[in-house]
Structure 1
Amino acid sequence: MANVEKLVALTPEMAAMLREAVASGEYASASEVMREALRDWKAQRAEREKAIEEIGRLWDVGVSSGPTTDGDEAFDRVRRALTLKA
């Protein structure tokens, strides 16, 4: 790794967690811990972006479905319909 740039400052607690992960043998180096953390962070951001896009899509579906109905009125209609069928 000839091209290395140091960017991260950690709290003492985070640094201790990182050292413990390496000392336990779970990771070979602190850099390995950080690379995995960044991969996880990147994946989480991608999932969040997909969720935001899906919410936007569902919003558009809802808006295009027509005018809104008051929730209480809608439930009253359903209750009356169920009472008439009983």
Structure 2
Amino acid sequence: MDISLTPDQERFIQAKLQIGKYRSAEEILELALRLLDEYEQSEDDWVKDVRQKIDVALEASKHTSPVDGETFVNGIVERFQQANSA
């Protein structure tokens, strides 16, 4: 596979090589790909976590009486004020 880099990408890689932290452009690209994989995995994990929390909240809402919007917002404001005064 041939990869074309932009001039900025080439300068970035050359700068890293000149510092001496990496031995080759391949090493830099390998690290970049590994970090991309970790980033995507953490994003997937975050989505799964949020979905699970939503499912838990939906299930809890089935056993809780509804609250109107004004009461809900007032409760949040009250907790915020209490936290700031502590």
Percent identity over the alignment?
A: 21
**Pick from 54, 59, 65: which aligns with 1:59?**
54
User: Could you list the runs of 5+ residues in structure 2 that have no partner in the other structure?
Assistant: 79-86
Give the equivalent residue in structure 1 for 2:5.
10
What's the TM-score, normalizing by structure 1? 0.73
Matching of residue 31 in structure 1 with residue 32 in structure 2? no
Give the equivalent residue in structure 1 for 2:68.
70
User: Could you list the runs of 5+ residues in structure 1 that have no partner in the other structure?
Assistant: 80-86
> Within 2, Cα distance between the matches of 1:18 and 1:33?
7
**Pick from 14, 18, 25: which aligns with 1:19?**
14
> Within 2, Cα distance between the matches of 1:53 and 1:32?
32
Larger CA Rg, structure 1 vs 2: 1
Q: RMSD of the TM alignment (CA)?
A: 1.8
> Within 1, Cα distance between the matches of 2:14 and 2:51?
42
What's the TM-score, normalizing by structure 2? 0.73
As a proportion of its length, which structure holds more helix?
2
**Pick from 39, 47, 60: which aligns with 1:44?**
39
